Amino acid sequence: MVECRTDESFVQIVYAKVTANGKTELVPMKLYIDRDGTHLDRELPTPPATSGGKRLLANRYELQQVLGQGGFGKTYLTFDRHRFNEPCVVKEFLPQGRGDYESQKSRELFEREAKILHQIDRPQIPKFFAFFEENQQLFLVQEYIKGQTYATLLRERQQAGDTFSEREIIKWLQDLLPVLGYLHDRQIVHRDISLDNIMLQTDSNLPMLIDFGIGRSDLIQRQNQSEPAAPQSIVGKVGYAPYEQIWLGQSFPSSDLYSLAVTAVVMLTGIDPQTLNSQASVKDQWRSKASVSTELGQILDRMLATAPANRYQSAAAVLADLEQFAKATLNCPITKVSAPPTIIHTATKQQPEIIDHCLIETNLTATFITKCTQELTNYIGPIATILVNKTLTKYPNLTPAELIDLLTQQIPQPLTANEFSQRCRS
């Protein structure tokens, strides 16, 4: 990927690593132009009563202005004369590849985007309207989205000396994960999730997932198959795309989850993913550059695992952990205790025969609750915080020993459970 910045515009070229006839080369596949990111957020031009000399496609779509231009061609703001001059977006296929192979590959990706969009009916994905050929040129028509990309929104934050907060990222993930789940359930992997391809829609104030030019709509490759899958097209943005996608040409639902986590990290830190990835993996680099809770950090780290099998395997699994954590954080004050709670012991449960002196106390302290939560997290993951909070809510008058006993029951393996109990008592 090559970037070029000026005072007036931002240009980003995305390359695909292509192997043909024993030769590997980088082929320019996309080019993004963002002039201050405002081209989709200003007032629309007034629809003319007649064509007024403007280019008219299919005797219906009246091209108004260029929104972007790249390796595939041009994107136009357009008025649909058959729908009372409703605004829409027309993509014109004009490949800039020098050879037949590059041109054919670009055409395949362009047609693939149309086929994928035709399958999708989801509010947070632009609607597909039409795909047609005129004068030996291909055109794709889709919904016009008024808003700004998150790349633009982040730059605006950074200019003010700020980035996105943890609370904003949690809400952002909760809004986008169901969209990815919808796609993955339909055997579609986006493969190009980044700040440039997610927009905040002005009207709904929801993130919109855009640009399916390199998506896959055939059967998703399985991570547990006995033999390695044959490499497919090697595409994606350097820094955002995981190793298996950008170097091996393999893509899974967890590949999209990796890219989504990278995007979240960039929004939290304001640091380009290539910088985070320069010396080690993003997972090893980002935690020291962002202030987030342990629970959110663990969720993002699992999404960022290098091996696909070590990541969450579905958007629903991420959402389940995220929503449990968010619910506990937003609704339960026990998550962050600023002072030891005053709790009177009324339970009659028998104490353990052997007990450390510190557990003779009848009052729980914030320090002890935090210790138990951290130890349980080491054994069962981020859901530990939820279980601790639920336990304390259901049994508000527990002693330290009783809390350990109840939490120990959450670990199914006897040896591991005993180890957890001993560590909490030490």
The whole-angstrom separation of Cα 254 and Cα 310 is: 9
| Sheet arrangement for strand 86-93 | 56-57, 61-69, 73-80, 86-93, 137-143, 128-134
Burial call 135-148: b when 16+ CB within 10 Å, e when fewer:
eeebbbbbbbbebb
Helix axes 366-380, 383-394, angle to 10 degrees: 130
Q: Is 203 a catalytic residue?
A: no
Inter-axis angle of helices 414-425 and 400-408, to 10 degrees? 160
Query: Which three-class secondary structure state does DSSP give residue 82?
Result: helix
Rounded to 5°, the CA angle 110-124-182 comes to 80
Helix axes 366-380, 414-425, angle to 10 degrees: 160
Alpha carbons 183 and 252: distance in angstroms, whole number: 12
Instruction: Give the active site residue among 41, 121, 185, 192.
Output: 192
User: How would you list the strands of the sheet with 147-149, edge to edge?
Assistant: 147-149, 198-201, 207-209
Contact predicate 376/420, CB 8 Å: yes
Q: Is the dihedral of CA 168, 171, 177, 178 positive or negative?
A: negative
Q: Which residues pair with 15 in a beta bridge?
A: 28
| Residue carrying the six token digits 């009052």 | 363
CA-nearest of 319, 281, 273 to 299 is 319
Known catalytic residues are 192
